[in-house]
Amino acid sequence: MIIDVKMFAAARQYTSQAVVRVELEEPANVSDLKVALLQQFPQLEPLAGHLTIAVDNDYVDDEHLLEENSEVAVIPPVSGG
Partner 1 sequence: MIELVQQPIDAGRVLAHVASNEAGAVVLFLGTTRQFTRQRETLSLDYECYPEMATEKLQQLEAEARRRWPIVDLAIVHRLGHLELGEASVAIAVSSPHRQDAFEAGTWLIDTLKQVVPIWKQENWADGTSQWVHPGVDPPESPLNQPGECKP
Query: Three-class SS of residue 29?
Result: strand
Residues in 12-41 that interact with partner 1 by CB under 8 A: 12-13, 18
Q: Taking CB under 8 A as the rule, does residue 53 contact partner 1?
A: no
The whole-angstrom separation of Cα 16 and Cα 54 is: 20
Count of residues that bind partner 1 according to CB under 8 A = 23
- Tell me phi and psi for residue 28, to 5 degrees: -130, 135
- Rounded Cα gap, residues 22 and 53, in angstroms: 14
Question: Rg of the chain over CA atoms, in angstroms?
Answer: 12
**Segment interacting with partner 1 (CB under 8 A) among 2-10, 19-27, 31-39, 62-70:** 2-10
Give 8 or 67: the residue with its C-beta nearer to partner 1: 8
Contact residues toward partner 1 (CB under 8 A) are 6, 8-10, 12-13, 18, 46-47, 50, 54, 57-59, 71, 73, 75-81
